[in-house]
Amino acid sequence: MPLIEWVELEKDLINDLIDVTWGDNKEEKEMWLKTKELVGDIKASPITNHYATIGTAFDYVMRLFLIEINDGLLPRSHISDGGMLVAERGTRGDPERVLFIEDFKKKWGRGTKSSDLIRDCLVLAKMDSVYRRGVELENSEIFNIDDSDFRDVENMLGLMKTSDWKAERDLILNPNFGASGDYVIGADADIIIDGVLVDIKTTKYLKLNREYLRQLLGYYILNLREIDVFNVRSLGIYFARYGILHKIDIPMSPALCIDIGGEYRKMGCQNKRTGDLQPAIWGEDVWPEINKSLKLYRKWRKS
């Protein structure tokens, strides 16, 4: 089951977790989630209705921008792209698409002009949709760049402040959460920078709703199931049309990690030789196992 479907199917459970984790009291929850801080004027209003293409294209642009500004600041071993060119899977063996990907890889990260980068990422976004959503597109549509789409992405890129995105320790792009990500569709997040798991939103609305929080918690829970493989300590949403990064502390991480560790032992995922916990290799029962752990966590929080 895809991640986005699970968080909607189990939204009552996750909403309950939000309440017991960040507090039933409205003022206490606002303190944790800092919802009162979500104020600002939109600086890059939408100028096209190709919302899905724009959102995916900006995801690609932003990740490549982060690699460029962090090049030389971090050892290459501390910057991971997570196999970020998902669009490559949308080539479907088409020679023109394959050649585009090959050419893009050659010039990627070599001081590419922002205008060329945006155009290329708009193409990648369309190829991405071929893979993720099964959209059938002709090459004439894939390689045609709408001027409004270009300006929309360009406006959002212009809002990014270099100083806000220079990593001090690690930069992980398109993290897919180890073996767990191999069995969960859509289990690749956007960015993890210095322990902050960031989801990029190109919406025109500046608000933190439960849908966004449930999605972030879904990623975070998968990370814990892999024994906190990315050392995530905060959640974040970057509102690209406002140039605002909103961060949320996670008060539940130690307890939930311990609880999931307990479930690992019950599931027989403990290394018999060393006694250490090791990441689970899941099949189709991934979500029932997660639900079981979350219900135990909820019971512990309410006790």
Share of the chain above pLDDT 90, in %: 28
Residue 146 above 90 pLDDT? yes
Residue 265 lies in a domain: no
- Domain tally for the chain? 2
Q: What is the pTM of this model?
A: 0.79
Same domain, 94 and 110: yes
Given this model, what pLDDT does residue 122 score?
Answer: 96
Same domain, 123 and 168: no
Of 158, 188, 210, the last residue of a domain is 158
In angstroms, how far apart are the furthest CA atoms of the chain?
60
Range of the domain at 172: 3-42+164-255
Of 137, 158, 179, the last residue of a domain is 158
CA distance 177 to 292: 20
| Chain segment 95-118, per-residue pLDDT in tens | 999 999 988 888 776 566 788 889
Same domain, 108 and 194: no
Per the prediction, the chain carries an average pLDDT of 76
Residue 91 above 80 pLDDT? yes
Residue 303 lies in a domain: no
Same domain, 62 and 130: yes
CA distance 124 to 205: 25
CA distance 173 to 198: 10
Same domain, 11 and 83: no
Lowest-pLDDT range of 2-16, 31-45, 46-60:
2-16
Same domain, 84 and 143: yes
Cβ atoms of 283 and 2 within 8 Å: the answer is no
CA distance 154 to 157: 5
Residue 193 lies in a domain: yes
Given this model, what pLDDT does residue 296 score?
Answer: 63
CA distance 270 to 276: 6
Same domain, 34 and 183: yes
Residue 275 above 50 pLDDT? no
Residue 282 lies in a domain: no
Residue 279 lies in a domain: no
Residue 69 lies in a domain: yes
- Residue 193: in which H helix or E strand, if any? strand 191-193
Tokens matching residue 1: 């089951």
Same domain, 71 and 149: yes
Lowest-pLDDT range of 11-15, 41-45, 93-97, 145-149:
11-15
More confident residue, 21 or 205: 205
pLDDT tier for residue 18 given thresholds of 50, 70 and 90:
confident
